[in-house]
Amino acid sequence: MALNDPVDHHVENPFEYVVEKFSWAISDGARAFRFDPARHAGQAVPVVRRITSADLWDALKKGMADVGATRDDILFIGLIYPVAGLLLARLMFSYDLLPLVFPLASGFALIGPFAAVGLYEMSKRREEGRRVTWLDAFGVAESRAWGSILGLGAVLLGLFCLWLAASWQIYLATLGGAAPQTFAGFERSVFQTAGGWSLIAAGVGVGFLFAVAAFAVGVVSFPLLLDRDVGMVTAVRTSFRAIAANPGVMALWGLIVAGALVLGSIPALVGLIVVMPMLGHATWHLYRKLIG
């Protein structure tokens, strides 16, 4: 091969890496989701109820009761979530991808509805009066809708990957250049330069759009699929219908979730040990109030 010939293998930049992983996620989701229209033909369309803010507080109260009754769930997701986040953040530091540490931490909320499926299963079993342990969280794999759940999870994973790619492009457009080698240097670039403030404004705006998309897709669809095998398309449509029927209340729920995740992330994601299980269980009870 001549020196000037293009090489087949090269070191991927973060944008190329994320796009590649996004394509893998879509491919895996397509294999996991066995599209069988006949299986869902003739099923009744889920009924969406109107709720009030009082229902949100009641769902949170029941979520906290579930956390108190099934404390083992902390082993399942409450501890895994912050530990995984810290390990991935450390990996970012190792590969000089410091600008992606915050998008990585905040972007976990995009896949939260899928990560909490095991908690929905635990709340469902407790609702039925059954004794629950953290091992019951894996019972979700026995669901007839498991393929649809995996497929929808791949969609949220794709959104997460696109968010990381968008974050990197925003960084290049505002601060550009080589990634800083220290956190202090990056902090100065973000908070003491015009480009840094542009990065914050653009990142918050774009991140909000990704968060709204993930919220609309997953707020009802995952617990609905776990409860009834209605198919991925019907589940997502029902999630959108639930938001359209209760725009103000669901917007308040989104703010509650976002605020709880922010508080739980301080310091070093430790608060998520309690916040994640509480939100997961509360989401199941909110689903029960929303869908007849």
Task: Going residue by residue through the chain, which has 292 residues, state the pLDDT in tens, using 9 for 90 and above.
Answer: 444 444 444 445 554 544 554 455 445 444 444 445 555 555 678 899 999 999 999 999 999 988 887 666 555 555 666 666 667 666 666 656 778 878 887 887 888 888 888 889 888 888 888 887 777 777 888 888 888 899 999 999 999 999 999 998 999 898 876 666 677 777 788 888 888 899 999 999 999 999 999 999 999 999 999 998 888 889 999 999 999 999 999 999 999 998 888 887 776 667 777 788 889 899 999 999 999 8
d(CA 100, CA 172): 11
Find out whether the peptide bond into 99 is cis, omega within 30 degrees of 0: no
Looking at residue 33, what is its pLDDT? 47
Q: Where are the domains of the chain?
A: 47-290
pTM: 0.77
What CA dihedral angle connects 251, 44, 62 and 124, to 10 degrees? -130
d(CA 32, CA 225): 14
Burial environment of residue 178 by CB neighbours within 10 A (0 to 12, 13 to 18, 19 or more): exposed
Q: Which token pair is 124?
A: 């469902």
CB 138 within 8 A of CB 242: no
149-192 confidence digits (pLDDT tens): 999 999 999 999 999 999 989 998 988 766 666 777 777 888 88
CB 230 within 8 A of CB 46: yes
